[in-house]
Structure formats: structure tokens, C-alpha cells
A and B are shown apart, each in its own frame.
Chain A
């Protein structure tokens, strides 16, 4: 534990410079976690020994400089200025040296003993950046140590550099801020030195610089001291003086001079040529272009959905066949073994759980493909370009900038998208964005589109799915436009700059981790939400309310579920899907969108298994294996189709029994216009309330009143959308 004799060391650095990595390397397992006094920010501290000398080391929050902007920076700046640790280890990113030197320079100006850990030298080397650390060391008056903190390279050198620096005279860096500023600094320094309480705060030049830069923490600190007011008044006069003489705000002049100083230093150190245009920059000119950006984005989305909807089809069929065939048979067989077959229990397992959960699990390959494509786009850096492109389009119609962040998230899942609105600062922007995110088509809606598109639009499945995604964006933009012109008028938006990360080849491990995690949570959802919903639907289906059937032995039309669904059905009649089965599945879809699929499967409970001769277990197992391989071969053959090269016709012409039942039902409910009705149904699924979790999240973020506005609004929009599709389509003679 830390004793009175321990030397205090602080470790500072910009976010992502590798501070935590170095801290872990220095301290090993000896770490303590607490909070910074009066803050929710975590404080990590630890200790290490070098040459029998024990050091206590504190990990400061990430900071770009000592004129604090964020709460984290304020903590770091205050700690350094007030606690004045024995030695500061500043972690600098060698691959972005100029960016890191602002902090290094300011700490040197503060006159603290400093060891600079020149980290990420491996990255710098890969990019061909060479740094002359001797010169850097001489220019800054500090010791510079090369490290690769992630691998522990240079940790021992950092330790011995700390030991050497400890107790040494601490040089104060003096940057020349030019005649005008220097004159005011000189005057302010005199004012400070004339007042002992203020002079005791720290090096007078440092205090003067912070005051001239307008640092709030320094102002507060000085203001509380005897005669502090006088110094503050003098500083304000000097700031005005600088502004009047130079034509720029004092903090801008200081920033500019420091920037020039750093640029010159880095230029001398790396022998750096002017940075040219990287290929990544050239690509950005096209990808984020005002006009070309949008078609590129649409093209990318098209490829994503093409792969998702078409290439995975063989696997989808495989899972479907496995779940409805062998797995159902095995379940029945198992139930027979324990003597529980034939009764309501078998019905629960087969018609409830297997039909419901199985119908959703069928879509695992689809979601896997979707998540794989999204992960590739994310990790390559394209996603941020897409966000920028979408932002442009949306801002053109008055939707706030930054709304696109939550909206991109919405393509994955609506729930986190609603929480992501917290990144917006005005409550108006948050609410507006929160109202729009549910229209972005989330992953859970995909199974519904694919199920129906496979039945009614087998030849243009991916086109239909793509259209749904586009429609979702279009509706969001339209509603956003209307709201921002009426109820939620825009206030003056804060400008902000977005720096795009460089393009890179996606990292296999990152991509795989993302895909596994997301597909995993889809499967987990099937095992929890969908399972519960399937059992609930089964119970409601088993419960007779009319007719003379008993429990689990009633016509489903006479069940509780049937009764409620029939009550709702007339509302949906004008949309072409007014059969009670359809209204029933939409009702249960309030829980989650996959439940639409599981309910459809339960309602059209088609006994595929009974019709066939049951093969033996071994034959089943062999069949599962060979059909999996066939699915793999089919997928490979389907790949060229993604870019429009259709070599073979993969569409399976024999629809499954479920597909046939769905087709009959839609044809019946729409007076023979099944295609139109199915399209309307998909539009309805796209636009109405995504799921209960999203409603709960919305309520938590925006309150009950707005929750109802959003639920009712979404229902109305969904109804109107499906109405336009079905009745409009009928009018113009489609379907």
C-alpha cells in the first residue's frame, strides 16, 4: 500500500494514446479503483518499484490539453496543476505526434518533470514515420522513451526514466508567443508576482497563460484568493488588449502560436514533407460527395441486402427443413419415450415451441449474413461515410445533424437507437430523432419481409426487401420534414466537425466478434422473448371461448386468440389482410417483430411431418449433413448473382407447406390480390411499433405522453401506408 514516502507519479495522455495499456504494464495487477473526488469518473491508481524506490502512480483521464473542455480534462488539468506530481509520464501517439504534443507542451509549460512515452512506434514505423527522439527530447527538455505499450515494449525504460527524472530540476518550457502576447504575458506576470497568494498558485507564466487562454478552472481558482479579483481584472484587460492589437481573440493567438511551434518542431523531427492526399482521402471525395455519395450508399445497401436475402437462401431452406423435419420428429420421438406424446403437452412442444421458435431460428443464416455485412462496413470505416451522406440528405429537409447517428444504429435494433438519441443536445432534436428511429428497418423485421417475399416475390426478393429499407428512410425523412416544419421547429444548430476514420481492411477478429455477438443475441432472443411469446400464443390458441372444444383441443378459430384477432380484423380489412390469422400475427408482433413470423407459423400450423414416411434417426442425421453441404454449394453458386451474373436459377420451385398456406390466406383475404396485400402487410410491419422493448425505451427517454403519440402515430402511418399500397395498387390495376 502507499506510504508517506511514496513518490507520486501521474500518467497523462490524449484519449486512445495507449495510456491505460502503459498503466497496466507499469503496475501489473497492483491496481486500485476509486472515484475522483466529487466525480463519477473512475480513478485508477497503482504502484511499482524501481531501484528499491516505491512509486504510487495515478492514471489521469484522457486529455488533449490543459484548457479543459470536458469533465475528464478538467480532472486531469486540476490534478496536474494543484497536486503537482513528482513526475508526469505523458503518453504520446507516435503515429500522430503533432496531435499529442499539445498536451506535452502544456505540461512542460507548467514546469512539471516529464517523461514522454513515445507510444505506438510500431504503427508509426508501419506508416514510414521516423521520429528523431533525441531532438524531440532536446526541444522539450524532457526524456523521451519509445514504447509499444500493448506489448510491454519499453516499460522497463519508462520506469528507469521515471527514477532518473525524479528529484531532477524541472525545466519550464518557454514558447515564444510573439511580441504582442509576450508583452501582455510580461505585464500579467508582474501583476501575479505582486500578489503572494496568487503567485503561490504555480509558475507565474503558466498562471498568466491559462488566464489569457480564458481557462475557467484557473479563473475560479484565482478568484477565490486574496487579491485574486485584481489579477482577474488585469487578465481581462490583457485579453482585450491582445484582441484589439492582433485582431483575434487571445486564446486564438495562443493556440495559433503553439500550433506553429509544434508544426515546426515536428517538421524538423520527422524531416516531414507536406502530407499529401492519401488514397483514403481520394475515396472520400467520391464517397461523401454531395451528389455521388447517395447512389454509392444505395448501391452498398443493395449489395448488403442482396447477399442477405439471396445468398443465404439455401441455408434458410436447410434450417427450415431441419427444424420442421428431423427435429420435430426427434422431439415427438423423445416425448414418446417418456410417455408424454399425443396430449396437450405434445401440442405445446410441437405446435407451440417448435413451430414458433423454430420459425424464427430459421432466419439465423439471414441475420448472420446481415450482421456480417454490417460488421464489414463498420470495421472498414464505410459506416461513418454512410452516416455523413445520410446526414446531408436529412439536414436538407430540416432534420438535425447528428440525428443520423441514432438512425444508423436503428438499422441494427431500435432499442439502442432510442438510447443513442442521448448524443443529441437539444431536447427538441432528441425527441424528433426518437420519433424517427423506429422507421429505420431493424434486423428483426427482415424475417417477415423474407418470409412473404419468398412466397409472393420469389423472383425479386432482394428488390422487395431493399424497397422496404428505402421506404423506411423515406418515411422517416418525410415525417421529420413535417414535424420540423410544425410541432418541432428547429432552433439554431450548433455546427460540429466530423473527422472520418481512415479506411482500412476489416480486421477478421473484430468482424467475427461483432457477428458472433449479434447473431448470438438474436438466438438468445429466440430462446427468451420468442419462446415466451410462442407459449403465450399457444395458450391463447388452446383456450376455447366459443364452440365445444376442450383445452388444447379446440378449433383455433374458437380460441381466445381467434376471438381477439377477429375483433381486430375488420380494421385491417381495407388493407387486404383482414383475415383473423393476419391480424392475430400483427397483434402478437407488438411484442417483437420476429413474433409475427413465429405466430404465422403457429397459426398455419401445418403438419409437414405427418405427411411423410418417418425415416430413421440415422437417415435423418445423414440427410441433415448432406443437405447442409448442398446448401454451401448452392450459396457459392449464388454469389455471382449478387453482382448481377445469374448463371443458374436457384429458386426452389416447390413451396413449403407453410408458404402455400400463407399464399392461400393472402389470396383469400385480398380477393385474389395476394401480392399487393402481402406488400401492404410488409409495409405495415415496417412502419408500426417495432417492439415492446422499443416502446419501453421510448417511454423511459421521452415520457408516457410522447410514448402514446409515437405508438398511435406509428399505427396510423402504418395503416395509411398499407392502405395506399393495397388500394392504390388496386386502382392502378396491379396485383
Chain B
């Protein structure tokens, strides 16, 4: 049960864990951890993705501290951290 072991490892951490760290702890290549994470995600065990971009919906053209931040669109001064973060879904919410 490799997926269960991985999930267990994640749940025992608090806050952010990196894929590379999980790979190190489980002794498997990072690419394999990535595949396992996708499997957990596809099976509904890892939850919503977090990225910076979606939160920017309300901030358009907030040019260098311009006075307003109106309407949806993209904000040119957002630094793109471009990563995928997967949140653990608490298993309590899943018990039928």
C-alpha cells in the first residue's frame, strides 16, 4: 500500500511538504512521488489545488501601486510562483 504510506507521511507533517522531501523520506524517486500524488488526487484523497493566480481575479492593472484594483483580469505585478499545491482532504469529511 504505497499510496497509503505516502498519505500517512503527508498527514503527519504540518503545513507544507515538498514532493522532493517526501521522495527522500520514502526512499523513492521524485517522479514516482509525483505519480503517486496524482493518483491520490484522482482518487479524491488530496484536495483542492492552491495557486496564486485565481486569487488575482479582482486585481487588474494594479500597476505600481495604482489607486484602484478593479474588475477581473490579470494583475501585471503578480509574481508567478507557478507551483501546484495539493491539500490533504481531512478524512472525516469523507466517511459515509
Listed from nearest, the 5 A-B pairs whose CB atoms lie closest are: A521-B63, A401-B15, A65-B42, A102-B42, A67-B44
Given A65-B41, A497-B17, A498-B17: A419 in contact with B65 (beta carbons within 8 A):
no
- CB distance B85 to A498 under 8 Å? yes
25 contacts between A and B (CB under 8 A): A67-B42, A69-B44, A70-B48, A99-B34, A239-B96, A256-B1, A258-B39, A259-B39, A275-B32, A383-B82, A400-B15, A409-B52, A413-B65, A415-B75, A416-B78, A420-B55, A420-B56, A421-B55, A497-B10, A498-B86, A499-B19, A517-B76, A522-B63, A524-B66, A693-B65
- In chain B, positions 36-74 with a C-beta closer than 8 Å to chain A are 36-52, 54-56, 58-59, 61-69
Across the interface, B44 reaches (CB within 8 A) one of A215, A395, A419, A522, namely A215
Bound CA–CA A696/B78 (angstroms): 18
Bound CA–CA A493/B58 (angstroms): 27
User: Closest Cβ of chain B: how far from A369's Cβ, in Å?
Assistant: 15
Residue of A nearest to B63 (CB): A521
- CB distance A443 to B87 under 8 Å? no
User: Closest Cβ of chain B: how far from A84's Cβ, in Å?
Assistant: 21
Assess whether A444 is interfacial by the CB under 8 Å rule. Answer: yes
Assess whether A98 is interfacial by the CB under 8 Å rule. Answer: yes
Assess whether A219 is interfacial by the CB under 8 Å rule. Answer: yes
Across the interface, B41 reaches (CB within 8 A) one of A64, A96, A248, A420, namely A64
Given A412-B77, A528-B66: A420 in contact with B52 (beta carbons within 8 A):
yes
Which range contains the number of B residues in contact with the other chain? 35 or more
B: which residues have CB within 8 A of A? 1-4, 7, 10-24, 29-32, 34-52, 54-56, 58-59, 61-69, 75-91, 94-96
- CB distance A518 to B15 under 8 Å? no
- CB distance A422 to B55 under 8 Å? yes
Bound CA–CA A690/B82 (angstroms): 25
Assess whether A614 is interfacial by the CB under 8 Å rule. Answer: no
Residue of A nearest to B90 (CB): A494
Bound CA–CA A411/B77 (angstroms): 9
Q: Which residues of B contact A70 (CB under 8 A)?
A: 48-49
Q: Which residues of B contact A391 (CB under 8 A)?
A: 15-16
Which range contains the number of A residues in contact with the other chain? 35 or more
Across the interface, A521 reaches (CB within 8 A) one of B7, B76, B95, namely B76
Residue of B nearest to A214 (CB): B94
Bound CA–CA A101/B69 (angstroms): 41
User: Closest Cβ of chain A: how far from B1's Cβ, in Å?
Assistant: 5
- Indicate with 1 or 0, residue by residue over A404-416, a CB within 8 angstroms of chain B CB atoms: 0110110111111
Q: Which residues of A contact B48 (CB under 8 A)?
A: 69-70
Stretch at the interface among A278-286, A299-307, A703-711: A278-286
Bound CA–CA A239/B55 (angstroms): 37
Q: Which residues of A contact B55 (CB under 8 A)?
A: 419-423
Q: Which residues of B contact A211 (CB under 8 A)?
A: 96
Q: Which residues of B contact A493 (CB under 8 A)?
A: 14-15
Assess whether A274 is interfacial by the CB under 8 Å rule. Answer: yes
Q: Which residues of B contact A593 (CB under 8 A)?
A: 65
Seed contacts A64-B41, A419-B58; 18 additional CB < 8 Å A-B pairs: A99-B42, A235-B96, A254-B43, A274-B29, A275-B32, A277-B29, A401-B14, A406-B52, A413-B78, A423-B54, A495-B17, A499-B83, A500-B20, A521-B77, A525-B66, A593-B65, A693-B67, A696-B67
Assess whether A574 is interfacial by the CB under 8 Å rule. Answer: no
Residue of A nearest to B11 (CB): A495
Given A252-B7, A594-B64: A443 in contact with B77 (beta carbons within 8 A):
yes
Assess whether A384 is interfacial by the CB under 8 Å rule. Answer: yes
- CB distance A248 to B64 under 8 Å? no
Assess whether A236 is interfacial by the CB under 8 Å rule. Answer: yes
Bound CA–CA A374/B79 (angstroms): 8
Residue of B nearest to A516 (CB): B76
- CB distance B22 to A256 under 8 Å? no
Bound CA–CA A521/B69 (angstroms): 13
Given A405-B50, A501-B83: A494 in contact with B88 (beta carbons within 8 A):
yes
Assess whether A697 is interfacial by the CB under 8 Å rule. Answer: yes
Bound CA–CA A225/B57 (angstroms): 40
- Indicate with 1 or 0, residue by residue over A520-542, a CB within 8 angstroms of chain B CB atoms: 11101110110000000000000
Q: Which residues of B contact A498 (CB under 8 A)?
A: 16-19, 83-86
User: Closest Cβ of chain B: how far from A296's Cβ, in Å?
Assistant: 15
Assess whether A691 is interfacial by the CB under 8 Å rule. Answer: yes
Q: Which residues of A contact B31 (CB under 8 A)?
A: 275, 278, 281
- Indicate with 1 or 0, residue by residue over A484-506, a CB within 8 angstroms of chain B CB atoms: 00000000111111111100000
Residue of B nearest to A413 (CB): B77
Assess whether A251 is interfacial by the CB under 8 Å rule. Answer: yes
Residue of A nearest to B57 (CB): A419
Residue of A nearest to B32 (CB): A275
Bound CA–CA A103/B32 (angstroms): 18
Given A288-B18, A525-B63: A412 in contact with B78 (beta carbons within 8 A):
yes
